[in-house]
């Protein structure tokens, strides 16, 4: 039998996904998180943060295209983009695929982690950190975004760890932060965020995030994609001031992708996928319409972990 290092990705006290790692490349604790980069015979390189699988070489493109491409494709002319988080650089990679983008401000508080990603995860970032359109900041994303002029961004993206109670990212999922995003977006601006799991058994945290966004934006749409290395449907939310992603036809999305020279580059997202992403099953729609609690920065809120 192969002598693998077994990593337990806990879904529930009674449920565990086992990942067999053939090698550990990096195991390091920064001031903010514990990182493990290993090699999986099944998923290729795999990134684990604080005990949760964050990204895997075999399917990271599904997650990152789902997070980035709907917002960038829907915007008629995305030029200025703000990115909070997205440490590995793959979110940045997807943003930079759009030729109209002239500047990206990327703010990630953990400079030590970024240094490791640059070295160990080139398959993810593909040199995106060195693109001249990118300016990288290592500070609190809320304070940094607040220092930018109002109405200055076409798209804001957040790719952050989930808002666990007392966790470092909770303030960046709060009503206060989403109000800030609303102010910093221009009149046709779009916000897209990663927003935890969305399944019939795991939807509490997503519901809280969605309910919070509804207090800041007039149009808020949940969507989800299956990510095999997570072994679940992973959810995102797109919030806008005036455009509805469900109004975009397959033909419009495909035409935009073609006009921007992305048809041969994108592996997951196209017009048909767009329709699928924003079409939820009946039970999920019921959960999304259920009452929830907003995330308020200075108040306690019952938010379960990723494996809620």
Q: State the number of CA atoms in the 13 A half-sphere of 225 facing the CB.
A: 23
Strands 103-107 vs 80-85: parallel, antiparallel or unpaired: parallel
Strands 44-49 vs 34-40: parallel, antiparallel or unpaired: antiparallel
C-alpha to C-alpha distance for 295 and 298, rounded to whole angstroms: 9
| Ranges assigned E (strand) in 160-231 | 185-197, 219-227
Candidates 245, 306, 254; CA nearest to 278 is: 245
Distances (CA, A) of 9 to 5, 18, 145, 289: 13, 6, 33, 30
C-alpha to C-alpha distance for 99 and 173, rounded to whole angstroms: 30
What is the chain's Cα-based Rg? 18
Distances (CA, A) of 122 to 42, 57, 64, 125, 127: 19, 10, 15, 5, 7
DSSP label of 279: -
Q: Does residue 159 carry a catalytic annotation? A: yes
Cβ neighbours of residue 256 under 8 Å, at least 6 residues apart?
Answer: 73
C-alpha to C-alpha distance for 43 and 20, rounded to whole angstroms: 10
Q: Which of 159, 188, 231, 270 is catalytic?
A: 159
Candidates 200, 167, 184, 152; CA nearest to 295 is: 167
Cβ neighbours of residue 270 under 8 Å, at least 6 residues apart?
Answer: 253, 254, 257, 263
C-alpha to C-alpha distance for 70 and 32, rounded to whole angstroms: 30
Active site residues: 159
């Amino acid at each position: 039998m192969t002598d693998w290092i077994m990593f337990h990705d806990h879904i529930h006290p009674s449920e565990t996904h086992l990942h067999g790692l053939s090698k550990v490349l990096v195991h390091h604790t920064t001031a903010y998180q514990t990182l493990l980069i290993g090699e999986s015979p099944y998923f290729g390189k795999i990134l684990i943060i604080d005990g949760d699988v964050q990204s895997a070489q075999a399917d990271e493109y599904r997650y990152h295209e789902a997070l980035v491409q709907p917002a960038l494709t829907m915007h008629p002319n995305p030029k200025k983009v703000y990115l909070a988080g997205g440490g590995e650089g793959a979110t940045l990679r997807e943003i930079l695929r759009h030729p109209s983008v002239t500047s990206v401000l990327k703010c990630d508080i953990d400079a030590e982690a970024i240094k490791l990603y640059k070295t160990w995860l080139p398959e993810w970032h593909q040199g995106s950190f060195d693109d001249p359109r990118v300016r990288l900041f290592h500070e609190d994303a809320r304070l940094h975004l607040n220092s930018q002029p109002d109405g200055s961004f076409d798209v804001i993206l957040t790719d952050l760890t989930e808002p666990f109670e007392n966790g470092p990212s909770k303030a960046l999922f709060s009503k206060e932060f989403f109000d800030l995003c609303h102010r910093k977006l221009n009149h046709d601006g779009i916000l897209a965020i990663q927003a935890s799991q969305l399944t019939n058994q795991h939807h509490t945290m997503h519901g809280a995030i969605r309910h919070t966004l509804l207090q800041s934006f007039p149009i808020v749409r949940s969507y989800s994609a299956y990510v095999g290395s997570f072994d679940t449907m992973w959810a995102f939310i797109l919030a806008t001031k005036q455009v509805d992603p469900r109004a975009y036809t397959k033909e419009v999305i495909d035409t935009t992708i073609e006009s921007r020279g992305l048809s041969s580059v994108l592996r997951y997202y196209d017009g048909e996928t767009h329709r699928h992403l924003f079409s939820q099953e009946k039970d999920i729609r019921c959960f999304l319409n259920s009452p929830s609690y907003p995330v308020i920065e200075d108040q306690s809120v019952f938010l379960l972990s990723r494996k809620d």
